[in-house]
Amino acid sequence: VTARTFVIVGASLAGASAAATLREEGFEGRLVLVGEESQPPYERPPLSKEYLRGEQPFEKALVHPLDFYEAQGIETRFGVRANRVDPSERVIELEEGGRIQYDKVLVATGSRNRRLPVPGAHLEGVLDLRTVADADRIRAEVAPGRRAVLAGMGFIGAEVAASLRQMGLEVAVVQRGEVPLSRVLGTEVGRILADIHRDHGVEMHFGERVSALEGSQRVEAVRTAGGQTLLCDFVVTGVGVEPVTEVVAEAEVEVEDGIVVDELSRTSVEHIYAAGDVTSHHHPLFGRRIRVEHWNHAIKHGAAAARSMLGKGTPYTEVPWFWSDQYDHNLQYAGHHTGEEEMVVRGSLEDRSFVVFFLRQGRVVAAAALNRARELRRAMELIRVGVPADAHLLRDEGVDLRAPAKP
Ligand code: NAP
């Protein structure tokens, strides 16, 4: 490939994956990786688990070793924010001043945490979790017997609750819905997770909202819409994310729940590509656009975008997949479902050993598994192939999941 300049905006997991793939695939031009955080790209899954609990050093979370970038001839601009992509002049403008000319640019800016829009959110001791710096702030609050209130019980709330309990803290959660993680996993699976957390001593307030955070300088209590006052030493909010799209705001790139890209990671503007959880990407398997906020997607989508930038792209059809470890339970999910699907349970919800299949028009479009990793991998294959599956066979534990297709 002739010497050209490719710029990756966002030293995220998706950005790091794209950079490495460009070199692996033979790109010999100038390659610049710009990222707002001062650290090299790292993986976030340990931040709510092993790293938060002090079981794993930060270095283990690095996507590539420190010397990788120089060795690969990747110019890094860490701790530098990109202000905007200007497609008319094909430049990236940096906040600190300076411009980088590009031939192609990949936007991999990821997401940012939503703030809890309540009085007192600015108080000391009100924390959230996205970066390693955030994780360090939570770690600094950790001591056995202290009491944390978590606002929201999505992935962050559920994983942080488990980690803090494992470290001997008192934990209460305030969650809008009736069960944790219902948006992604459905009510039935969410209820099982709630039981697991209850068994581990998490105090749960479901169907409730945080209405205010109270304290003079530091947070001392959480007020709920239902009129409860929950005393606390600190608060962790985990109320979802929004894609970071400002960098293309003036570039007339189509944005709708993320930067819209086709199955080759192309945005609506020539030479601008996007990958990872900042994108709403058209997914051929589900026949619609989806936005996926998980680790595996960042790696795969970043790599796919890199190949596409080199003109070697193939339609991105990867089945979304993620896991979440909470206490000694392993939860996994694959596919994409909307909540309107037929649900088929294989195994036992009560025994906490199951795969739940979500079927749309007789085809498996998603599956969630608790402590059944191997069957989940097989379910992924069913999602990928998309043939009609027989609910009775899926349910029957005597039937190999490699063969539940209708005759
Ligand atoms: P999330 O999983 O989307 O959960 C958001 C939670 O916030 C839900 O419980 C939701 O409740 C609640 N919520 C939303 N708005 C609220 C409000 N105004 N007041 C109170 N509660 C509100 O997001 P997250 O837990 O913040 O996680 C952040 C990101 O990290 C996500 O992209 C997530 O996928 C990712 N992550 C992934 C993993 C993993 O894959 N294992 C682990 C950690 C984090 P309702 O459902 O009731 O609306």
Write out pLDDT tens, residues 257-282: 999 999 999 999 999 999 999 999 99
State mean pLDDT over 168-180.
96
Answer yes or no: are the C-beta atoms of 370 and 192 closer than 8 Å: yes
| Model confidence band, residue 125 (pLDDT cutoffs 50, 70, 90) | very high
Tell me what percent of the residues of the chain surpass a pLDDT of 90.
92
3-class secondary structure, 256:
coil
Q: Is 1 a residue whose pLDDT tops 50?
A: no
pLDDT per residue as tens digits for the range 330-373 = 999 999 998 889 999 999 999 999 999 999 999 999 999 999 99
Query: What distance in angstroms lies between residue 114's CA and the mean position of ligand 1's atoms?
Result: 9
- Alpha-carbon distance of 182 to 195, in angstroms, equals 14
* Residue-averaged pLDDT of the chain: 95
Of all residues in the chain, the percent with pLDDT exceeding 70 is 98
Alpha helices in 205-324 (DSSP H): 295-309
> From atom 22 of ligand 1, which residue's Cα is the shortest distance away?
239
Which of 48, 118, 176 for mutating ligand 1's site (highest number of atoms within 8 Å of CB)?
176
Contact 362, 388 (CB under 8 A): yes
Handedness of CA 10, 11, 17, 22 (dihedral sign): positive
406 has a pLDDT exceeding 60: no
Q: Atom 14 (ligand 1): residue with closest C-alpha?
A: 239
pLDDT for res 335: 96
395 vs 401: CA distance, rounded Å: 10
Distant-in-sequence, close-in-space partners of 97: CB < 8 Å, separation ≥ 6: none
**What value does the mean pLDDT take over residues 124-142?**
98
Q: Which of 281, 367, 327 is nearest to 107 (CA)?
A: 281
Tally Cβ neighbours within 10 Å of residue 350: 9
Q: How far is the C-alpha of 9 from the C-alpha of 84, rounded, in Å?
A: 10
Confidence (pLDDT) at 403: 66
Q: Is the pLDDT of residue 162 over 50?
A: yes
User: Position of tokens 């997607």?
Assistant: 297
What is the pLDDT at residue 401? 83
pLDDT of residue 407: 44
Mean pLDDT computed over 166-173: 98
Among protein residues, the one with the nearest Cα to ligand 1's atom 39 is 324
Atom of ligand 1 nearest to the CA of 155: 25
For residue 63, the SS3 value is coil
Centre of ligand 1 to C-alpha 179, Å, is 12
For ligand 1, mutation pick of 241, 244, 277 (most atoms within 8 Å of CB)? 241
Spacing, Cα 72 to ligand 1 middle (Å)? 36
The full DSSP string for 151-172 is E--SHHHHHHHHHHHHTT-EEE
Confidence of residue 405 (pLDDT cuts 50, 70, 90): low
How many whole angstroms from 184 Cα to the centroid of ligand 1?
10
Residue whose CB lies within 8 A of the most ligand 1 atoms, among 239, 279, 296, for a mutation test? 239
Per-residue pLDDT tens over the stretch 278-317: 999 999 988 899 999 999 999 999 999 999 999 999 999 9
Distant-in-sequence, close-in-space partners of 371: CB < 8 Å, separation ≥ 6: 329, 330, 352, 353
Q: Which of 71-80, 174-183, 231-240, 295-304 has the lowest mean pLDDT?
A: 174-183
Whether the Cβ atoms of residue 231 and residue 221 lie closer than 8 Å to each other: yes
Pocket of ligand 1 (CB under 6 A): 48, 111, 151-157, 159, 175-177, 182-183, 209, 238-241, 293-294, 322, 324
The per-residue pLDDT for range 67-82, each reduced to its tens digit, is: 999 999 999 999 999 9
- Per-residue pLDDT tens over the stretch 4-24: 999 999 999 999 999 999 999
CA of 315 to the centre of ligand 1 (A): 29
Residue of the nearest CA to atom 42 in ligand 1?
Answer: 155
List helix spans (H) across 67-131: 68-71
Ligand 1 centre to CA of 79 (Å) is 27
- Here the tokens at position 329 are 């339970």
pLDDT tens for 191-213 read 999 999 999 999 999 999 999 99
Ligand 1 atom having least distance to the Cα of 153: 9
**Mean pLDDT to the nearest integer, 39-58:** 97
Range 246-260 average pLDDT: 96
Residue 404: per-residue pLDDT: 57
Q: Count Cβ neighbours within 10 Å for each residue of 16-45 and write b for 16 or more, e otherwise.
A: bbbbbbbbeeebeebbbbbbbbebbbbbbb
Report the nearest atom of ligand 1 relative to the CA of 277: 32
230: Cα within 13 Å, side-chain hemisphere: 28
User: Which pLDDT belongs to residue 287?
Assistant: 87
Distance between CA atoms of residues 150 and 270, nearest Å: 43
One-letter amino acid at 204 equals M
